[in-house]
A = this chain, B = another copy of it.
Amino acid sequence: MKLYFQAEIPIKIRFSDTDAMGVVWHGNYLRFFEDAREAFGIKYGLTYLDVYKRGFFTPIVKSSVEHKAPINYGEEVTAIAKFHPTPSAKILFDFEILNKSTGKLSATCHTTQVFLGVESREMELIKPSFYVEWEKKLGIKI
């Protein structure tokens, strides 16, 4: 059985999130995934600022999104981030956006992040030691 490390966060749709079709503009979903990733970081101690203090950025290098159903203004959604263990020096997440107002799955997403030295601006080819310890502490099986 696969056990997920995951976190979720409720998101209120802003009027400014919508477009002239009357639904949330597709590019704004990236903000919702960011919210879920940060909720995960807060829950498990891996926020953007935690990572930055250890000397790293973790930019997104790949993302793929599937839109299943539109989101209208006034609807409420839940963004879910599921951590996906990997042996490589990457951070992988699967995301879901659930539309609480309609009960429908609105979108799914997969992202790949790498470790970039704040000073060097070079990509790390092996996992930074602080990250290996973080995995160990959480009991993450790869």
Q: Residues of A with Cβ closer than 8 Å to B?
A: 12, 14-16, 18-23, 25-28, 30-31, 34-35, 38, 47-49, 57, 59-67, 70, 73-74
Q: Is the CB of A74 within 8 A of B62?
A: no
Q: Is the CB of B30 within 8 A of A73?
A: no
> Taking CB as reference atom, which chain B residue is nearest A114?
B67
Q: Give CA–CA (A48, B20) in the complex, Å.
A: 11
Q: Give CA–CA (A35, B19) in the complex, Å.
A: 15
Question: How many copies of the polypeptide does the oligomer hold?
Answer: 4
Chain B residues, Cβ within 8 Å of A20: 15, 18-20, 22-23, 73
Dominant secondary structure of chain A at its interface with chain B:
mixed
Q: Is the CB of A26 within 8 A of B70?
A: no
Chain B residues, Cβ within 8 Å of A60: 26, 67
Q: Is the CB of A25 within 8 A of B21?
A: no
Q: Is the CB of B26 within 8 A of A27?
A: no
User: Chain B nearest CB: distance from A66 CB in Å?
Assistant: 5
Chain B residues, Cβ within 8 Å of A63: 26, 63-65
Q: Is the CB of A62 within 8 A of B70?
A: no
